[in-house]
Amino acid sequence: MTTLYTAPFLLMGLANFSSIASFACFYLFPLFLVDRGASQTDVGLIMGSFSLSAVLCRPWVAAMIDRFGRKRSLTVGTLIMTVVPLAYIGLRGGLHETYVFLLLIRIFHGIGLALCSTAVFTYIVDIIPASRLNEGLGIFGVSGLIGLAVGPVLAEMVIYQWGFTFHFLLASLLGLVAMASHLGLRESYVKPEHEASPSFFHLFRRKKLLMVAVLAALFGIAAAASGGFVAPYAKTLQLRFVAVYYVSYSLAAVLTRFGGARLGDRIGEHRLLPYALILSGTGLLLMTLLHGSAILALAGLLSGCGHGFLYPSLNALAVRDEPISIRGKVTGFFTGSIEAGVFLGSLLLGYVGDWLGFRALFLAAGCAVLLGLIVCPWRSAVVGIPKPPLQAWSCRNRHAGS
């Protein structure tokens, strides 16, 4: 069997873990905002601005990764993840006194995460054997899931012991670890000079990628509900240890990745997607019944299982059989769709929470995810949708530009 666990795979796993843990520290950032007088709409807008910037910059980020290299782009992203958390320390006074500056910080922070998430997964797709693509993406994604679990736990301990200043220092330190861990690696792909390739927006013509984009956006809505509203919801119910949700979520996703790592490669990603959506949607709907830590843990468990199947299956479906020269754009298209869902979910769910309360918020999020069953590729024929002939496109483009 072709080797999967190479040194670059493991070092990139460390970089991914650290950058995601740095990002996940900000799952408790709504507590910082609420302490300064933020409403749920404010929380949704400020948390969503992070994702909006990640979406709007994605075409340029994706093109940068294909043009300048995966490793170089990741270095820039991790530098941002190291420096920007320090800017939050300078925020003084009430929320409305620092609102604009806070939004600017969140926007720049979102660009850093966009670079990290797109570059690291493009690098990994380049080095994973094609026959183990779904397995490799699933196992590699465990590094991020562990980061999702570790980040909030560390953040919660630091916040309660030393306050938010040390919380921001922790996030910066994790970004620094992500930067240091990958600097010794070589580029996985160097683009030849004058090689033509389709633009990022050309991908919108692809039926397969549009379907992936819709499902990825719904996944983003689920992530917005989990990342932006679980902590304040639990706080209103006086549930102190919010991290139990994220620990159970990440543990379930990790076990799902290891237990079903090869299912997508064996039977096809499309067969796993409906079940993943049902698990994710049910986990969110269960939050409407929240009254104690047991329900919080069970909801995290179900949503985590859905995440464990959904993310690698959609990612593998997006990049499978795609030329290496456009994998940055395809990965950016996929991850950008998730960020679009996170932004819209943060904004719209924030309004729902203000008007109707947290239970209605999680009801809306769960139903939105289950709507994905309508566009899910129930038949294997969907996976085989023909693609535009990239080589012919490239030749025509060279001729037109000569």
Q: What is the mean pLDDT of residues 225-248?
A: 85
Q: How confident is the model at residue 357 (pLDDT cuts 50, 70, 90)?
A: very high
Q: Look up the pTM and report it.
A: 0.75
Residue 189 has pLDDT above 80, yes or no: no
CA distance 343 to 223: 10
205-218: pLDDT as tens digits: 777 888 888 999 99
Q: What is the model's pLDDT at position 302?
A: 96
So what's the pLDDT on residue 386? 40
pLDDT at 55: 83
Tokens standing for residue 355: 């008007």
Q: Supply the pLDDT for residue 308.
A: 87
Q: What local confidence, expressed as pLDDT, does residue 396 receive?
A: 33
On the question of pLDDT at 289 being above 80, the answer is: yes
Q: Which CATH superfamily is domain 14-185+198-384 in?
A: MFS general substrate transporter like domains (1.20.1250.20)
What is the pLDDT confidence band of residue 193, given thresholds at 50, 70 and 90? low
pLDDT > 70 fraction of the chain, expressed in percent and rounded: 89
Following DSSP, what letter does each residue of 137-197 receive, concatenated? HHHHHHHHHHHHHHHHHHHHHHHHHH-HHHHHHHHHHHHHHHHHHHTTPPPS--PPTT---
pLDDT at res. 199: 64
Chain segment 123-167, per-residue pLDDT in tens: 998 898 887 888 888 899 889 878 987 998 899 999 999 999 999
> In the predicted model, is pLDDT for residue 393 greater than 50?
no
Report residue 51: phi and psi, to 5°: -70, -35
Report pLDDT digits (tens) over 304-334. Answer: 999 888 988 898 888 887 777 788 888 888 8
Instruction: Note the pLDDT of residue 367.
Output: 96
- pLDDT at 349 exceeding the cut of 50: yes
Look at residue 391 and tell me whether its pLDDT is greater than 50: no
Alpha-helical regions (H) of 260-379: 263-267, 269-286, 293-319, 327-356, 358-370
Written as six digits, the tokens of 221 are 């809505």
pLDDT of residue 383: 42
Judged against a pLDDT cut of 60, whether residue 104 lies above it is answered with yes
How far is the CA of 230 from the CAs of 134, 236, 268, 296, 360, in angstroms?
Answer: 30, 10, 33, 9, 13
> Which span out of 80-89, 98-107, 306-315 was modeled with the highest average pLDDT?
80-89
pLDDT reading at 9 higher than 80? yes
322 SS3 class: coil
Whether 82 has a pLDDT exceeding 80, the answer reads: yes
